[in-house]
Amino acid sequence: MNDHAQLKLIEKYKEAPVLRYYVNGKDIIQSPRNVYLIDFHGLSESEARNAYPDLYQWVLNRVKPEREQNRDPKLRKNWWLHRRSRSDLREMSGKLTHLIVTTRVAKHRVFTTIKISTAADYNLACIALDKHHSLGILSSRVHNIWSLKSGGTLEDRPTYNNTLCFETFPFPELTDEQAAKIGQLAEQIDAHRKRQQAEHPTLTLTGIYNVMEKLRAGEELNAREQTINQQGLVSTLLADHDALDRAVFNAYGWDDLAKALVGLPGATTPLPDKPAAQAEAEEELLMRLVALNKQRTAEEAQGKVRWLRPDYQAPEEAAPTQKELQSTTAEANAPAADKTKTTWPKDLATQVTLLRDMLAASPHSAESLAAQFKRKPLKGVNEVLSALAALGQAQQDDEHWRLVR
């Protein structure tokens, strides 16, 4: 919905949860289109019609005729709903106020935040974390070098894959002071960019970071780039990014690499023909991250996990931070019906083995798998299923999962 005839509908329903601001990659790195979409998720046809008659008719006139020609009987039946509900993202983001997003394909690897009510296009990688220090770590040179190495490319532009770039990345353990400092810098950077873009509608993130790369390289700016620098206050933003990089390196205990890398070009985009000293320092950084990744994997196999969102990922474990968690399962308080069920194992290897064996016997929904264990650990089951799917060992058909042989 984006032409003049639709403005009245947007104005009438702009506070309604079914009318959602919609963004894609170009909205993030270039200029926003100010597009909305209708999302009747969770509503029956009659509920949508009665609660939002104008929006219902819009969908009735434009969507239903096309859906009636679709070969998929489920789409014909549920014509007022989106093809994919993204139920996993809805569940993960349910208690958050914002999501962290980055474009899957872009010249510069830049992370920003969107409101939880915003609908994100498939070409945005969405990360269900809303702590500012998480945004800071992802926006740092440490993570960007990791993602540039572990992700792929489309033509000459880097791609970001959640499974390869995010799920394998070992976050640092932060003290309260480090989290506050990194979070403050990340929030400052994100607010700076949004403020300057709001004041100068033609200003884009691509333009800002192109200029930042030239400033890092000590190259002279042309007239257009000088305008971007002035409108975006890019020199100030660069200083904030360097401060963030130093803070994140310090959180890992790698101040030596901060001295070797902070301030150099290539922080957000691949740098061809980089100096040997910089290439050597980046290779050392990657080796340390790989070693830390292996250490974390070994610890998780022993049941020691540093959750990024313990309230969501491990609600059964009372852990307020990312620190190693210990089980707090109180079996004495479990319902009588749970006494005959298996306890959800703490170590990842056993979790994987159990679910693989169950799927080998027959297909299951995540709900039915979780129901086999005490306290129904649905979130843990979903995480293992997602991991198996990423490894090509499991596949979801509708609501059921099956083992890929």
Residue 322 has what pLDDT?
47
Task: Please state the length of the chain.
Answer: 405
217 pLDDT more than 90: yes
Q: What angle do CA 188, 190, 196 make, to 5 degrees?
A: 95
What is d(CA 307, CA 325) in angstroms, rounded to the nearest whole number? 8
Among 152-156, 162-166, 207-211, 220-224, which stretch is predicted with the lowest mean pLDDT?
152-156
Helix (H) or strand (E) run with residue 261 in it:
helix 255-261
Q: Which pLDDT band, with edges at 50, 70 and 90, does 261 fall under?
A: very high
What is d(CA 298, CA 287) in angstroms, rounded to the nearest whole number? 17
pLDDT in tens, 144-201: 999 999 888 888 889 998 889 999 999 999 999 999 999 999 999 999 999 999 999 9
Helix (H) or strand (E) run with residue 361 in it:
helix 348-361
328 pLDDT more than 70: no
Residues 15, 104, 234, 180: what is their CA dihedral angle, to the nearest 10 degrees?
70
What is d(CA 69, CA 79) in angstroms, rounded to the nearest whole number? 11
Share of the chain above pLDDT 90, in %: 60
pLDDT, the chain, mean: 88
Q: Which of 21-25, 325-329, 376-380 has the highest mean pLDDT?
A: 21-25
Beta carbons of 394 and 401 less than 8 angstroms apart:
yes
pTM (2 decimals)? Answer: 0.74
Residue 326 has what pLDDT?
39
331 pLDDT more than 70: no
Compute the half-sphere exposure of residue 257: CA atoms within 13 Å on the CB side of its CA: 24
Residue 344 has what pLDDT?
86
List beta partners, residue 400.
365, 397
Among 44-48, 272-276, 389-393, which stretch is predicted with the lowest mean pLDDT?
389-393
Residue 158 has what pLDDT?
93
Share of the chain above pLDDT 70, in %: 92
- Pairing mode, strands 400-403 and 364-365: antiparallel
User: What separation in angstroms does the CA of 225 have from each of 88, 123, 213, 232?
Assistant: 42, 28, 11, 10
Beta carbons of 186 and 245 less than 8 angstroms apart:
no
